[in-house]
Amino acid sequence: MPLLMHADHSSDDNYGCNHESSDLLLDENGFPLVEQDRQDAEEGSFAADFYRCGTDWSCLAREDMDSDRGRSRKLKQANLFQMWGLKKPRLHQDAAFPTPNRTNIPNPKPSSTSISNRPHVCPFYKKIPGTPFTVDAFRYGCVQGCSAYFLTHFHYDHYGGLTKGWSHGPIYCTPLTARLLTLCLSVNPLFINPLELDKEHSIQGIKVTLLEANHCPGAALIHFRLPDGKCCLHTGDFRSCKLMQTYPLLVNHQVNLLYLDTTYCNPRYKFPSKEDVLSFVVRVTNYYLKMQPKTLVVVGAYSIGKERVYLAISKSLGVKIFANASRRRILQSFDWPELSSSLCSDGKDTLLHVLPISSLRFETLKDYLKTYRKNYAAVLAFRPTGWTYSENIGNQLDLIRPISRGNVTIYGVPYSEHSSFTELQEFVQFLRPDKIIPTVNVGNATNRDRMQSYFRQWLKG
């Protein structure tokens, strides 16, 4: 049955923050109930019941016939709290968080949040059951019962809510991400705790290991091992690859609970490899430069991410990479010598420029070209993102057709730093987790039910 969360303005002496509250009607997973969800909850549909407990493979009996007894065995459900040996939450208690050991943890700053400014309720998929930990949950402010905040990587949709005034508790992340928190956000270093990759750390009695996520620089998978031996893996954002199937921690320890990046959890997304896309980008660049030597090559990128695209062009052509001062400062913080040594501070010194991916519009690029009209006569731009993928083209990258207007040409290339559908399937089938919780595109019941059906199919074998 859905839970109705009422406002509670009392403070908690242990954590110095207001109880999380809302007048929203929530389901048992902490999602706000939209109209379709309300109907599902009222009707008690199988899909709604199934998602209420995630995909719990340890509690699903195979549906087969018992020839002796002449009856079929049915699917048995167990919710998340039962699976992890926790008590079901009361109305105003955050049962995912037992009372933590507060030793050597910075004291959170008390807050007096008004009703209108009160943060949203932190959803269940940001919390790690059986621990006082959250992952990428900064936008929810001071989370009731949380004494350690983990950050998977430095992209805004994950660090949103972090500012220089952060004082709600310690932050754990990779060393590179830690540098970006101070460099870009001026977060108080006293709250930042860098954790080296591939090294086990003990945090409040929980064994925590960060693993390379193959996403953007500094991104990590976070592996939690509880005192009772149960393991949880939170992928953050990641691009699954064969190398991950050799990670000793994933090979040697059963993952009981998997929080999965489901950005592209749709059968239509079957990306070519990063290497194939990089080769295509280099081929296209060489072709255009032969046709028009005075071509300015532009690669669209986020604040971090897509570095290998422009680095591949740089290495192939033997040219430097121009980026503005703020981007150079970020890139140099990576401690990536191959990249740092390729940067230059004057756009006139190289034909290869990096711009925000949002700037890859015809009018914007035409205006940008005017700045360098004495040096260049045309623009060739690349928009590297999985959203440009087309089923009709698939892995046949040479079929990609650019969009051109006058002397500006833009290529959308399916260079993704998220896992494709087939890569997600392979990763899940490698891990064979007891339970899967999707973390992206979970805003409505239809998407959630569809993803759970994929998970069931992947784990049937």
Q: Which domains does the chain have, with CATH numbers?
A: 3-267+421-458 (3.60.15.10), 274-413 (3.40.50.12650)
Average pLDDT score over the chain = 81
pLDDT band for position 396 (cuts 50, 70, 90): confident
What are the pLDDT digits (tens) for 139-176?
999 999 999 999 999 999 999 999 999 999 999 999 99
pLDDT at 17 exceeding the cut of 90: no
pLDDT at 266 exceeding the cut of 50: yes
The DSSP letter of residue 160 is T
What are the pLDDT digits (tens) for 179-188?
999 999 999 9
pLDDT at position 99 is 44
Rounded Cα distance between 71 and 397, Å, is: 53
Which residues are CB-contacts of 359 (< 8 A; sequence separation ≥ 6)?
A: 300, 365, 368
pLDDT at position 249 is 97
Q: Tell if the pTM clears 0.85, that is, is over it.
A: no
pLDDT band for position 391 (cuts 50, 70, 90): confident
Closest among 156, 157, 237, 149 to 192, alpha carbons compared: 149
The Cα-based distances of 357 to 333, 345, 376 in angstroms read 21, 19, 21
Q: Which residue has the higher pLDDT, 436 or 114?
A: 436
pLDDT at 19 exceeding the cut of 60: no
Q: Which strands, in side-by-side order, build the sheet including 206-212?
A: 55-56, 435-438, 257-260, 231-234, 220-225, 206-212, 200-203
pLDDT at 106 exceeding the cut of 80: no
pLDDT at position 388 is 82
pLDDT band for position 211 (cuts 50, 70, 90): very high
CA triple 249-254-255, angle to 5 deg: 90
For residue 445 the two structure tokens come to 């019941």
In 286-427, the DSSP E strands lie at 295-301, 321-322, 343-344, 352-356, 378-384, 403-405, 408-413
Closest among 247, 215, 217 to 233, alpha carbons compared: 247
pLDDT at 342 exceeding the cut of 70: yes
pLDDT band for position 432 (cuts 50, 70, 90): very high
pLDDT at position 389 is 81
pLDDT at position 338 is 94
